[in-house]
Amino acid sequence: MSLDLSDISDPSLGDKELQHFLIQEQQKAQFQAQVHKLTDACWEKCVVDKPSSKLDGKTETCITNCVDRFIDASLAITQRFSAVISKQVGN
């Protein structure tokens, strides 16, 4: 995203770029929050003993399954919200 100096005279362009930038940063922050939530949830569920330098097979499988289910649930929720919003916009 580059800003040409001639564009500075148009304040609405700067506002649009700023809004776009802020939306992108908000999405990044939400993604990071989801990753942290996922990490915490799966760690608490799957790592019951003090971790060593390598995960055992059972723990690794648990974490993999936990992540997969978390992603599946997130996608299902997102798709459902999308469907509801589309239905509301269509009415």
Q: What pLDDT shows up at residue 61?
A: 94
For residues 56 and 62, give the distance between their C-alpha atoms in angstroms, rounded to a whole number.
Answer: 10
- The confidence score (pLDDT) of residue 12 equals 61
d(CA 59, CA 82): 34
Which pLDDT score, from 0 to 100, does residue 81 have?
Answer: 86
* pLDDT at residue 87, as a whole number: 86
- What DSSP assignment string belongs to 3-26? --GGGGG-HHHHHHHHHHHHHHHH
Q: Which residues in the chain show pLDDT less than 70?
A: 1-13, 91
pLDDT reported for residue 1: 45
